[in-house]
């Protein structure tokens, strides 16, 4: 089996490396071609067009920025595109409605589609310990679970296409809400002159504690947001998707709209490419 991989950014690159380390044959494409060079050195076949990947691979894994990028790279609006005898596994973060639309378009062009978004970051991608959530038929899940297990040892089927995408957005909403809430407490206590380590000692012993707080604490205190595992701009994208999907469901989203404005402020401060913990700067400072 030859696996095609479209999108070799922050997450895609270590995921391809993981496959190569497991002796899986990979043909890779990225819109920024320079990002392919390290993978070529590791043994991946790299190409200049997604059409070559579609032609040569049995299965295509997508780790692209958003649904618009997927539409563009796959050429879904082209009458010439077809995916006969090809399976597309979408592993990025998109909206449930977008995932269902992609399924319908790909099936109409002769292919199969399933979604398998992941929770985790670059270290987990390198180690094969991502949490893999699958939206697919039972048949598709059993057919492709061994491949998905290279990224996370126990892929979990959530339901049909759309359900895994929804779960991933719900989890990323928690990332945004928890991090902004923690950052606000941290900024408040810093201004009040409270010893932060005493705060953390109490917090760690309470039911309020989440491990992500300690993961972001040093970055916030040192104002060091470089070398992100998950950039601020991507978290804002996911928050916007969650809000758009929630509006269709008539959910009240006032708490999250505040986080959205906070992330927009962080981008206006030039922090789009920094680690999303940079939202702490937006909490502390006026533009």
Confidence band (pLDDT; 50, 70, 90) for 284? confident
* Residues 59 and 1: beta-carbon distance below 8 Å: yes
* Residues 135 and 162: beta-carbon distance below 8 Å: yes
Instruction: Say if pTM beats, i.e. exceeds, 0.85.
Output: yes
Of 41, 32, 25, residue with least CA distance to 9: 32
What residues form DSSP beta bridges with 59?
3, 87
Give, in order, the Cα–Cα distances in Å from 207 to each of 179, 182, 203, 213.
16, 14, 8, 13
Domain span(s) for CATH 1.10.1040.10 in the chain: 163-281
What average pLDDT score do residues 201-205 get? 98
Instruction: Report phi then psi at 79, rounded to 5.
Output: -70, -20
What residues form DSSP beta bridges with 33?
none
pLDDT (tens digit per residue) in 61-83: 999 999 999 999 999 988 888 89
Task: Give the tokens for residue 283.
Answer: 């909490």
DSSP for 106-150, please give it: HHHTT-EEEE--EE--HHHHHHTB-EEEEES-HHHHHHHHHHHTT
Catalytic residue among 168, 215, 216, 265: 168
Which DSSP letter does residue 280 get?
H
pLDDT (tens digit per residue) in 86-129: 999 999 999 999 999 999 999 999 999 999 999 999 999 999 99
CA distance 186 to 221: 9
CATH class name, domain 1-159: alpha beta
CA distance 16 to 14: 5
CA distance 53 to 36: 13
Statement: residue 168 has pLDDT above 80: yes
Domain span(s) for CATH 3.40.50.720 in the chain: 1-159
User: Residue 286: what pLDDT?
Assistant: 60
Statement: residue 267 has pLDDT above 90: yes
Of 115, 121, 9, residue with least CA distance to 61: 115
Classify domain 163-281 by CATH architecture.
Orthogonal Bundle (1.10)
CA distance 49 to 34: 13
Statement: residue 199 has pLDDT above 60: yes
pLDDT (tens digit per residue) in 1-57: 899 999 999 999 999 999 999 999 999 999 888 889 999 999 999 999 999 999 999
Whole-number average pLDDT of the chain: 95
Of 93, 144, 151, residue with least CA distance to 114: 144
Percent with pLDDT over 90 in the chain: 94
* Residues 239 and 246: beta-carbon distance below 8 Å: no
Give, in order, the Cα–Cα distances in Å from 91 to each of 83, 86, 115, 217, 271.
18, 16, 6, 29, 25
How many CB atoms are located within 10 Å of the residue 236 CB?
Answer: 21
What average pLDDT score do residues 227-232 get? 95
Residue 168 known to be catalytic: yes
Per-residue exposure over 187-216, b if at least 16 CB sit within 10 Å of its own CB, e if not: beeeeeeeeeeebbeebeeeeeeeeebeeb
Statement: residue 287 has pLDDT above 80: no
DSSP for 198-251, please give it: HHHHHHHTSTT--HHHHHHHHHHHHT---S-SSBHHHHHHHHHHHHHHHHHTT-
User: Residue 250: what pLDDT?
Assistant: 97
> Largest Cα–Cα distance in the chain?
65
């Amino acid at each position: 089996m030859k696996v095609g991989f479209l999108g070799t950014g922050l997450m895609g690159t270590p995921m391809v490396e993981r496959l190569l380390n497991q002796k899986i044959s990979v043909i890779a494409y990225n819109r920024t071609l320079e990002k392919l060079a390290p993978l070529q050195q590791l043994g991946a076949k790299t190409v200049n067009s997604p059409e070559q990947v579609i032609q040569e691979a049995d299965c295509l894994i997508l780790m692209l920025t958003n649904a618009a990028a997927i539409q563009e790279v796959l050429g879904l609006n082209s009458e010439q595109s077809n995916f006969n005898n090809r399976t597309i596994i979408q592993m990025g973060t998109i909206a449930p409605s977008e995932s269902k639309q992609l399924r319908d378009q790909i099936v109409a062009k002769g292919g199969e589609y399933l979604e398998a978004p992941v929770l985790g970051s670059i270290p987990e991608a390198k180690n094969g310990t991502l949490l893999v959530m699958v939206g697919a038929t039972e048949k598709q899940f059993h057919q492709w679970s061994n491949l998905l297990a290279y990224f996370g040892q126990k892929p979990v089927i959530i339901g049909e296409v759309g359900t895994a995408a929804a779960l991933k957005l719900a989890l990323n909403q928690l990332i945004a809400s928890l991090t902004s809430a923690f950052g606000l407490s941290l900024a408040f206590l810093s201004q009040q002159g409270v010893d932060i380590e005493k705060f953390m000692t109490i917090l760690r012993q309470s039911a309020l504690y989440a491990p992500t707080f300690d993961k972001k604490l040093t970055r916030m205190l040192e104002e060091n947001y470089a070398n992100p595992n998950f950039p601020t701009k991507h978290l804002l994208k996911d928050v916007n998707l969650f809000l758009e999907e929630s509006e269709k469901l008539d959910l009240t989203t006032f708490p999250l709209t505040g986080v959205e404005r906070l992330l927009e402020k962080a981008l206006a401060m030039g922090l789009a490419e920094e680690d999303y913990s940079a939202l702490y700067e937006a909490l502390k400072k006026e533009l």
